[in-house]
């Protein structure tokens, strides 16, 4: 039974190692980082277990292939205790690792966690599910879906700024997206940023994200919503914080001086933005 104990000890050591190792690959957003981090941690557990189980199976088949007088297995309490404890350790690890990710506001918690707070500047006459940011410099953008397009309402803009089909947002900034629908079910889905959220009429659902990589990302509707569903696409342009401020200033439909500002430097700004997009590895 020394062998069984050695296997259990090796497994426990491996789990402890997996818990502290972080994946090194570059991630586009904190949401993607969390999801792939959990995926990798669970793989660290699943691969050795698969190898162990398949190894014992193949060994047993080979070793006893010519056994003409098989004997029934006798009770082995140590072995039973060993595999019970090992399984408990594995389940505990999977539970803790999953809870750290699923309980995060970036993955599942922005709407579910915390008290409801009033969010100013939403276009609909309800605000259920819209979660006010805890961070001071967070950017708030309302995402309104309808047959068959997306509208983005930039709530920080000094005046009205609603854009269709292109969502511009800053990199390395906490962004809250308030997703809703004015007709029926749609779903906001940006796979490269690991963002997905159903859009429901009559309520908001809050996506919390922070994107690391500037660039252009594809937005899809991921809920079959009618004949125009396949064309219900959008573009997400992630720019630097300065470019985002410039975008707000130039495009906001404010009462005073708005026309002047957009006349001055819109060509300049779009040139900057596209240069940044071209430079980043999309």
**Minimum distance between the CB of residue 179 and Cu ion, rounded to whole angstroms?**
13
Beta carbon nearer to Cu ion, 202 or 271: 202
State the Cα angle at 159 between 122 and 163, rounded to 5°.
65
**Minimum distance between the CB of residue 228 and Cu ion, rounded to whole angstroms?**
8
Beta carbon nearer to Cu ion, 160 or 198: 198
* Of the candidate residues 15, 105, 141, 232, the single one contacting Cu ion (CB under 5 A): 232
Instruction: List 53's β-bridge partners, or say none.
Output: none
Which of 79, 86, 108, 113 minimizes the C-alpha distance to 1? 79
- Using CB under 5 A, which of the segments 61-69, 135-143, 185-193, 242-250 binds Cu ion? 185-193
- Phi, psi at 217, each rounded to 5°: -125, 150
Q: Helix, strand or coil for residue 23?
A: coil
CB atoms within 10 A of CB 179: 26
* Of the candidate residues 97, 106, 141, 186, the single one contacting Cu ion (CB under 5 A): 186
- Using CB under 5 A, which of the segments 71-79, 109-117, 118-126, 183-191 binds Cu ion? 183-191
221 binds Cu ion (CB under 5 A): yes
CA distances (Å), origin 86, targets 7, 45, 82, 94, 109: 9, 12, 6, 12, 31
- CA 203 and chain centroid, separation: 21
Beta carbon nearer to Cu ion, 168 or 232: 232
Beta carbon nearer to Cu ion, 105 or 222: 222
Which of 251, 271, 270 minimizes the C-alpha distance to 261? 251
**Minimum distance between the CB of residue 186 and Cu ion, rounded to whole angstroms?**
5
229 binds Cu ion (CB under 5 A): yes
Beta carbon nearer to Cu ion, 196 or 229: 229
Beta carbon nearer to Cu ion, 86 or 207: 207
- Using CB under 5 A, which of the segments 43-51, 77-85, 229-237, 241-249 binds Cu ion? 229-237
Length of the chain: 282
Residues 6+ apart with CB under 8 A from 114: 131, 134
Residue with tokens 């020394």, as numbered in its chain: 2
* Of the candidate residues 86, 122, 167, 225, the single one contacting Cu ion (CB under 5 A): 225
Q: Which residues bind Cu ion (CB under 5 A)?
A: 186, 221, 225, 229, 232
């Amino acid at each position: 039974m020394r062998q069984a104990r050695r296997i259990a000890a090796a497994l426990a050591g491996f789990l402890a190692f997996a818990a502290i190792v972080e994946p090194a690959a570059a991630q586009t957003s904190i949401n993607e980082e969390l999801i792939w981090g959990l995926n990798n941690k669970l793989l660290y557990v699943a691969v050795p277990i698969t190898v162990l189980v398949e190894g014992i199976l193949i060994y047993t088949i080979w070793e006893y292939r010519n056994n003409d007088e098989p004997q029934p297995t006798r009770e082995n309490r140590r072995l039973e205790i060993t595999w019970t404890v090992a399984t408990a350790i594995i389940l505990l690890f999977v539970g803790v690792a999953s809870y750290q990710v699923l309980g995060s506001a970036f993955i599942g918690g922005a709407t579910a966690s915390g008290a409801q707070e009033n969010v100013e500047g939403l276009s609909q006459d309800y605000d259920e599910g819209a979660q006010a940011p805890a961070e001071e410099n967070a950017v708030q953008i309302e995402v309104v879906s309808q047959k068959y397009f997306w509208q983005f309402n930039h709530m920080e803009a000094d005046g009205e700024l609603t854009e269709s089909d292109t969502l511009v947002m800053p990199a390395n900034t906490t962004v809250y997206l308030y997703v809703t629908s004015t007709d029926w079910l749609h779903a906001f889905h940006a796979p490269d940023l690991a963002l997905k959220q159903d859009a429901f009429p009559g309520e908001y659902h809050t996506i919390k994200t922070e994107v690391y990589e500037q660039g252009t990302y594809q937005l899809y509707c991921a809920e079959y919503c009618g004949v125009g569903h396949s064309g219900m696409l959008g573009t997400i342009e992630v720019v630097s914080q300065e470019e985002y401020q410039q975008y707000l200033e130039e495009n906001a439909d404010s009462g005073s001086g708005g026309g002047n500002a957009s006349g001055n430097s819109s060509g300049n700004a779009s040139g900057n933005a596209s240069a940044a997009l071209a430079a980043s590895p999309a």
